[in-house]
Amino acid sequence: MSRKALMVESSNNLVVLSQASRMDADPPFHQIYKTLLEKNTGGADDQREVGDIIEECELPLIDLGRLSLGNSEKEMCKSEIARASQEWGFFQVVNHGVSREILDRMRSEQVKVFKQPFNKKSKEEKVLNLSSGTYRWGTPTATCLKQLSWSEAFHVPVTDIMVSNGFSTALSSTMEQFATTVANLAQRLAEILAEKFDCKSNFFKQNCLASTCYLRMNRYPPCPIPSEVFGLMPHTDSDFLTILHQDEVGGLQLVKDGKWFAVKPNPDALIINIGDLFQIAVFLLNEVQPVESELASQAFWAESFKLRCRKIGWNKYMCP
């Protein structure tokens, strides 16, 4: 396969990006990078802040198996979930009911999808037969380098998964199993959160329907200039609840108390992120911390509700 070298000047250093043929799987990030660099030469605001020290952390780890034990242990587990939601906005769960087999098969099928040539993925109907906008890459609204996300994703409505909308047999079966088991986990956590934050226990079950839920498969291709761009630009999740699984590479970063932390991958755990809409749903009776993050791996979330209120600036609202 023929390749060309694309050379651009960045921060007084020569950066060589590999420009692959159009049959390659990666989106044309190098072209976007070159365009943004030429538009914003010498602008300090266009560079990522590389001086921040990224410390590794382990999120609160909660064993959901304790919910099946005695009442005292069960209530302690619920309280830990509520406390982690308030203090971090993120926490990890084990014994969550999603088998390692399903996670591994989901990962394997995801790899197959992303290995498809970019020109095939971008046409969508030839890969997953989904509606326009399901496949996303980069940041269409980016005007400078720090707004560029070096990633691609399939943002799949759960209702499309349930009707086997053009997927291969293996992919369809795996996605449906994954979505079903994770949806059960989401409802279980929602009931606990509703109880702890003074909502009716069935409120989210009645309002977070399959039609408002999505499965997102994420890929972060190798980047030759990791200090210049984000895998996914900093943001908060606007949905109610996100459940994600990191691979062994990791990549999830979050801000707590003004400091960036890299979340250490745990292959046995799923990561729970409390979204912005949760705060609205409980009428801000309790403070739940929205955490800016760079997300990695596949994620499942209940978006729900039509309201789009935000507590953050518009510069952090748009993400691919």
Tens digit of pLDDT for each residue in 174-230?
888 999 999 899 989 988 988 887 776 676 677 677 777 889 999 998 888 777 778
Strand order from edge to edge, sheet including 259-263: 55-57, 259-263, 253-256, 293-294
Look at 2-6, 42-46, 139-143, 295-299 and tell me which has the smallest mean pLDDT: 2-6
Whether 13 has a pLDDT exceeding 70, the answer reads no
Whether 73 has a pLDDT exceeding 80, the answer reads yes
At 45 the pLDDT is 46
Reported as a pLDDT band with limits 50, 70 and 90, residue 20 is very low
Domain boundaries, the chain: 52-316
Reported as a pLDDT band with limits 50, 70 and 90, residue 166 is low
Whether 130 has a pLDDT exceeding 60, the answer reads yes
At 19 the pLDDT is 46
At 31 the pLDDT is 85
Whether 18 has a pLDDT exceeding 50, the answer reads no
Whether 11 has a pLDDT exceeding 60, the answer reads no
User: Tokens at residue 302, please?
Assistant: 């209940």
What CATH number has the domain spanning 52-316?
2.60.120.330
DSSP 45: G
- If you write DSSP's letter for every residue of 106-175 in order, what string do you get? HHHHHHHHHTS-HHHHTT-TTTT---TTSEEES-TT--SGGG-B--EEEEEEHHHHHTT-S--HHHHHHH
Highest mean pLDDT among 4-13, 26-35, 103-112: 103-112
Residue showing tokens 């609205």: 280
Phi-psi region at 304: left, alpha or beta (left = phi > 0; alpha = psi -120 to 50)? left
Mean pLDDT of 140-156: 86
At 261 the pLDDT is 85
User: Between helices 169-196 and 71-87, what is the axis angle to 10°?
Assistant: 100
Look at 169-173, 236-240, 284-288 and tell me which has the smallest mean pLDDT: 284-288
Can you list the alpha helix ranges (DSSP code H) found in the chain?
29-39, 71-87, 100-114, 118-121, 158-162, 169-196, 203-207, 276-281
pTM confidence score: 0.76
Mean pLDDT of 45-73: 77
